[in-house]
Structure 1
């Protein structure tokens, strides 16, 4: 009889342990990780000012980046100041521009990029309508080239380890004041 009770106790202990393990497994399921706008802003500021020689005809300097979320369209916006100067004349133009893009994740590099950049607004100080159109066309070309390799945020894979479980990003979206990355456990 004591052997039977001991056997039932061992079976009960195993069942309780399995129940606890299954409860723990549900704790490490998919989740959302929010990165506040202030942290994104600090990361972008480290990459500026940017200098670009556009087709050897213009020297373009981009500075003073200001990120903003467009949660309704799942895009991230970036306002910049620009200084545009042809190297062969002494005139330069100050400008302000706003662009936006969709976000994508390069898991292998640990980077979040701004894709599909779109120029939303460009204002060039002292430029007439024709010159304004020329600058707009030039900036659109430069955006597609330069923003392709500009990470908005960088994460380490160690940052995505919780409770001994490695997670991997699977989706990304914006909220009013943060970037939200959906992560799932590596299987």
Structure 2
């Protein structure tokens, strides 16, 4: 009987506002990582935007320091990635990330280019594990029917997720 109800209900779209996505990603920061035992990188104050298509852009403050000194160089990092659904985790994640801009204040361009390559490795590893949004169980239940996210699109102000009844 529930299966027949599910087919009557059909797919539905849920809009997740940018501010809700921003609030969720802020809870996952700051991120601290050591890269190749050479540099400690701290990423903080994330700023999320939805430029369109299936991509998301993220700007963060970055602090870079050698591991055995107290000196840190401030800067900023801008990256983007393709959004995808991880049904197992019930989450929207980023893949195919790329560093769009990496600037460290007071550092020459040649050294910044080297750091940008290192940052690309870090971003690919770290960002892949940080969900842009995680569904709560009650988000995926409606009228007694369990739904699964099947498709995502973006607008400048929201993430639109298509939910379909679980078969």
With normalisation by structure 1, the TM-score equals 0.82
Alignment RMSD: 1.7
Structure-2 residue corresponding to 1:152: 132
Higher helix proportion (structure 1 or 2): 1
Pick the structure with more strand per residue. 2
Which residue of structure 2 lines up, in the alignment, with residue 122 of structure 1? 102
Is the aligned partner of 1:47 residue 2:35? Answer: no
Q: What residue in structure 1 maps to residue 39 of structure 2? A: 58
Q: Is the 1:28–1:162 Cα contact (8 Å) retained in structure 2? A: no
CA contact (8 A) 2:7 2:165 kept: no
Structure 1 residues 3-152: aligned runs within 5 Å: 28-71=9-52, 73-152=53-132
| TM-superposition CA deviations, 1:36-78 (whole Å, max 9, x none) | 111110110001111001111111110000000011x320110
Uncovered stretches (5+) of structure 1, i.e. residues with no partner: 1-21
For these two proteins, the number of residue pairs brought into alignment is 164
SS in 2 for 1:149: coil
Q: Report 1 or 2 for greater relative contact order, CA contacts < 8 Å, sequence distance ≥ 6.
A: 2
Structure 2 length normalisation: TM-score?
0.91
Residue 91 of structure 1 and its aligned partner are, at CA, apart by 3.4
Tell me the distance in 2 between the aligned counterparts of 1:25 and 1:156: 20
Give me the whole-angstrom Cα distance separating, in 1, the residues matched to 2:93 and 2:151: 13
Q: Which residue of the partner structure matches residue 17 of structure 1?
A: none
Pair member with larger Rg: 1
Structure 2, unaligned runs of 5 or more: none
Question: What's the secondary structure of 2:56's corresponding residue?
Answer: strand
CA distance in 2, matches of 1:107, 1:75: 18
